[in-house]
């Protein structure tokens, strides 16, 4: 046990995800030795993020205003919605610069094990966005795992009867990967999704 | 890239030791969803630690006053000083409840590779504590690695001619460990330091 406030800091840091007791101690000593201005900046940004950050009223992405940057951008195609589980998925897809439509962040995936059903996800908000008929295609970009697949299947069953084009991101071998190291599920999907060579 | 302050927070968190970009993102989203009071407490303790925490003027350990808790404690044996590299070593030794003397925190170990020589460590401060002759034994508890051993050897050469008893923590097999998994250096030290059975 350290004296007073140093132990308080280690305790607080230890509550953060992915930071164990050793990591908390290491960060605390780093901060003890750090420039006070740097530590003040970290403290201020912590307070600021709680004061400013919120979720976009349209898509559910992280935002600093009523609507996020992407929903406010008139150059983004309003006919195309890419459905993802989390805000970090938006960031990952934006990095590819491949997608020029808009997003819808579900806030998770269907997971009976964790007690998450469709009603806990932002599906009602997605349906509301489809009411005016301007959206023509929904790209399901939930994670390629059991929960993401179940969520995609659920949404497909719901959306296809509405006359929408519903697509799912391709699953297969990661580019730059080594075939021999691919797990059997990925390899199986790569076979199932095989395309005519040279395309 | 996230909007404004969320990205600022991820950037600041990513500068902490042991927190990579993924970890910073994970912590940021945890804090976004967390109770504002919890985040405020973390921010406050960060500011408080820089305002309050300092280093004991006697032993160099982390303290909240001019002298640390251990140096202020009259029940601790002033004839015995345990020399360690860092404050976290003090915490580890205190946990054993075996040692009733005082400490001296060097602030590191001699490491020519990292450009740390004896003059960068708190050795002058250690010598100052020995001037009044009240200290009779110095226990060298630097890490059992090359740098820690070099530091212990340096201090032994310096302190033994002063008529002090200078000891080094025993190296050997960790209790509860498996002999077959011990590395050869540890096993070699366990042989070199073997004692009469039944002691």
* A61 found inside a domain: no
Shared-domain flag, residues B40 and B76? no
A37 and A80 belong to one structural domain = no
- Between residues 53 and 72 of chain B, which touch chain A (CB distance below 8 Å)? 53, 62-64, 68-69
B47 and B97 within one domain? no
Q: How many other C-beta atoms are found inside a 10 Å radius of the C-beta of residue B117?
A: 12
Q: Is the reported ipTM for this assembly greater than 0.85?
A: no
The sign one gets for the Cα dihedral A77, A81, A86, A92 is negative
Decide if B81 contacts B101 (C-beta within 8 A): yes
| Residue predicted with more confidence, B76 or B189 | B76
Same domain assignment for residues A77 and A48: no
- Based on the fold, state whether residues A175 and A84 are members of the same structural domain: yes
Closest approach of A189 to chain B, Cα-based (Å): 27
Residue pLDDT, tens place only, A19-59: 988 899 999 989 988 899 999 999 999 999 988 888 999 99
Considering the domain boundaries, does residue B57 fall inside one? no
pLDDT interval class at B198 (50, 70, 90): low
Partner B contacted by A47 (CB < 8 A): yes
Question: A1, A12, A68, A120: best mutation site toward chain B, by most B Cβ within 10 Å?
Answer: A12
Both A13 and A93 in one domain: the answer is no
Residue A30 in domain = yes
Same domain assignment for residues A101 and A45: no
- DSSP one-letter code for B116: B
Q: How many contacts does A have with B, using Cβ atoms within 8 A?
A: 142
Q: Does A170 touch chain B (CB under 8 A)?
A: no
* Residue B84 and residue B162 in one domain: yes
Residue A57 lies in a domain: no
* Range name among A60-69, A148-157, A177-186, B108-117 with the lowest pLDDT average: A177-186
Q: Which residues of B touch A3 (CB under 8 A)?
A: 53, 62-64, 68-69
Report yes or no on A122 lying in a domain: yes
Range of the domain at B178: 72-196
Query: Would A48 be classed as within a structural domain?
Result: yes
* In a domain? residue A103: yes
A75/B196: higher pLDDT: A75
From the candidates A7, A31, A49, which should be mutated to test the interface with B, based on the most B CB atoms within 10 A?
A49
The CATH number assigned to the domain holding A12 equals 1.10.8.420
- Are B76 and B42 in a shared domain? no
* CATH number of the domain where residue A114 is located: 3.40.1360.10
Tell me if residue B81 falls in helix, strand or coil: strand
Q: What is the pLDDT of residue A1?
A: 67
Number of CB atoms found within 10 A of residue A123's CB: 21
Mean pLDDT calculated for residue range B30-45:
92
Same domain? A103 vs A179: yes
The pTM of the whole model exceeds 0.80: no
Q: Confirm if A77 and A101 have CB atoms less than 8 A apart.
A: yes
* Residue of A30, A54, A62, A85 for testing the chain B interface, max B β-carbons within 10 Å: A62
A24, A82: one domain: no
Co-location of A48 and A79 in the same domain:
no
CB contact under 8 A, A19 and B19: yes
């Amino acid at each position: 046990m350290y004296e007073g406030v140093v132990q308080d800091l280690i305790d607080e840091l230890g509550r953060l995800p992915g930071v164990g007791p050793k990591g908390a101690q290491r960060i605390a000593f780093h901060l003890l030795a750090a420039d006070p201005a740097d530590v003040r900046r970290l403290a201020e940004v912590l307070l600021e993020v709680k004061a400013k950050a919120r979720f976009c009223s349209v898509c559910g992405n992280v935002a600093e205003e009523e609507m996020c940057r992407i929903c406010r951008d008139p150059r983004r195609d309003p006919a195309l919605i890419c459905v993802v589980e989390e805000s970090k998925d938006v960031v990952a897809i934006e990095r590819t610069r491949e997608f020029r439509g808009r997003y819808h962040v579900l806030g998770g995936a269907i997971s009976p094990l964790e007690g998450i059903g469709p009603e806990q996800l932002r599906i009602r908000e997605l349906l509301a966005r489809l009411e005016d008929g301007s959206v023509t295609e929904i790209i399901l970009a939930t994670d390629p795992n059991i929960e993401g697949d179940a969520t995609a299947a659920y949404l497909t069953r719901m959306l296809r009867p509405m006359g929408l084009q519903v697509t799912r991101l391709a699953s297969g071998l990661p580019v730059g990967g080594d075939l021999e190291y691919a797990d059997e599920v990925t390899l199986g999907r790569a076979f199932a999704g095989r395309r005519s060579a040279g395309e």
